[in-house]
Amino acid sequence: MHADQVGLRGRLGGDPALRAMAGLCAAVLVFAALREASSVFVPATFALFIIAVFWPVQRLLESRLPKLLALLVTIVIVLVSVVGLAMLVAWGFSRVGQWTIVNASRFQDIYLRQTEWLEGHGIPVAGLFAEHFDMRWVVWLAQSLTGRMQGLLSFLTVTLVFTMLGMLEVEVIRRKLVRMGRNGEGTRLLRACEQIGSKLQTYMLVRTVMSAVTGLSIWAFALAVGLELPVEWGMIAFALNYIPFLGPLTATVFPTLFAGLQFGSWEAALTVFLCLNVIQFVSGSYIEPRLAGKAVSVSPFLVLFAVFFWSFLWGIAGAFIGIPVTIALLVVCAQYDSTRWVAALLSGRDDAAA
């Protein structure tokens, strides 16, 4: 048995194709496990992300307060930040819903005009809607929303528990890494962790600044064109901008649909859609990369791939955490000679230092 294992290792080491195939199979198994056990891995990953971003706050508080009290204050800050963003989105869309209910008669008129036009061209919309509408859809939607809220609360609770336990062990793990390994493996991992923390802090700082700029820009644009609820649209854009690509897309589509309902014109809706896309493009593709600089430089192709790939694995949570996870993986790859070329290739930089 031992001889067979040695022979297998020899064949893998001598044949690049077999080694690549074995690596690909291992990667598929790892990602399948991450998807299957997402209820454990997602809150743990979010906890590590929160620790990396908020550790400077915890360390600053520990220099002035007892450790447990500092941890409690840090957790409160984290909770306020996360719940605050969620409440901004919920408040914005609730205000849109209230406006829709108040102006229901206007939408009824638009619906009747469009229905008459379509039926005049041989498309029986009202009949099709009445035939296929099922009240069970409404019940299913209500049950789905309730289940998602319960899942969100459970996820938040587990994440906070992971975060508290992790923050209590940061210094212990740091000392263990310093003592670990004869060839400096622990020091290398410690250096990678410090770089990951620094990059993620820079990433979130830039993301926060750009979210504020985007929210203010959309508020000003909505105010200028007469789109109702400008503050709500600005707040929604600010909160959703933390989710790359998918968040800005959502913050663009809903005001566009709203503009079509408010103005009753597809030309107005198209104008709003194009202008909002210009704002999102300028802030996300021009200003943000220059603010982030080389600190968190990642290939734009990899950013888009990371958002959709981690969304496929972990849903909306994966869309938010996908880029931080990718940044962390690239930092780890840069620490080892055998994988440094991966970090350089996907860094998004075209200079010798990459």
Tell me the three-class secondary structure of 252-316, residue by residue: HHHHHHHHHHHHCCHHHHHHHHHHHHHHHHHHHHHHHHHHHCCCCCCCHHHHHHHHHHHHHHHCH
Residue 199's closest CA among 321, 324, 105?
324
- Positions of E strands within the chain: none
Rg of the Cα atoms in the chain: 25
Confidence band of 215 (pLDDT split at 50, 70, 90)? very high
- For the residues 187-214, what does the mean pLDDT come to? 88
- Alpha-carbon distance of 247 to 207, in angstroms, equals 12
Residue 150 lies in a domain: yes
- Do residues 156 and 149 lie in contact, with contact meaning Cβ atoms separated by under 8 Å? no
**pLDDT digit string (tens) for 81-118?**
888 888 888 888 888 878 877 776 666 666 666 666 55
- Do residues 73 and 65 lie in contact, with contact meaning Cβ atoms separated by under 8 Å? yes
Confidence band of 273 (pLDDT split at 50, 70, 90)? very high
pLDDT of the residue at 133:
47
Reading phi first (left if > 0) and then psi (alpha if -120 to 50, else beta), residue 245 is in: left
> Could you tell me what percent of the chain has a pLDDT over 70?
76
pLDDT of the residue at 54:
93
Residue 12 lies in a domain: no
pLDDT of the residue at 210:
87
**pLDDT digit string (tens) for 141-164?**
556 656 666 677 788 888 989 999
Inter-CA distances, 265 with 92, 218, 253, 257, 261, Å? 23, 20, 15, 10, 8
pLDDT of the residue at 162:
92
Confidence band of 224 (pLDDT split at 50, 70, 90)? very high
- Alpha-carbon distance of 193 to 60, in angstroms, equals 19
- For the residues 65-94, what does the mean pLDDT come to? 88
Residue 168 lies in a domain: yes
Q: Which of 58-72, 203-217, 302-316, 334-348 comes out lowest in average pLDDT?
A: 334-348
- Alpha-carbon distance of 242 to 320, in angstroms, equals 7
Confidence band of 342 (pLDDT split at 50, 70, 90)? confident
- Greatest Cα pair distance in the chain: 82
329: pLDDT strictly greater than 80: yes
**pLDDT digit string (tens) for 236-250?**
999 988 887 778 888
317 vs 133, higher pLDDT:
317
pLDDT of the residue at 5:
53
Angle (nearest 5°) at CA 277 between 276 and 283: 90
Residue 181 lies in a domain: yes
**pLDDT digit string (tens) for 118-145?**
566 665 555 555 445 454 554 555 566 5
With tokens 């409690």, the residue in question is 72
- Do residues 232 and 100 lie in contact, with contact meaning Cβ atoms separated by under 8 Å? no
352: pLDDT strictly greater than 80: no
- For the residues 173-189, what does the mean pLDDT come to? 79
pLDDT of the residue at 136:
58
DSSP category for residue 123? -
pLDDT of the residue at 217:
93
- pTM to 2 decimals? 0.79
Long-range contacts for 185-190 (Cβ within 8 Å, ≥24 apart)? 188/335, 188/336, 189/335
Residue 140 lies in a domain: yes
Sign of dihedral through CA atoms 24, 30, 33, 39? negative
292: pLDDT strictly greater than 70: no
| Average pLDDT value for the chain | 80
| Six-digit token string for 15 | 């044949």
Half-sphere exposure (Cβ direction) of 110: Cα atoms closer than 13 Å: 15
Domain holding 109, by residue range, is 37-345
Angle (nearest 5°) at CA 300 between 294 and 306: 110
Total domain count, the chain? 1
Residue 135 lies in a domain: yes
Number of Cβ atoms within 10 Å of the Cβ of 63: 7
> Could you tell me what percent of the chain has a pLDDT over 90?
17
- Alpha-carbon distance of 143 to 126, in angstroms, equals 27
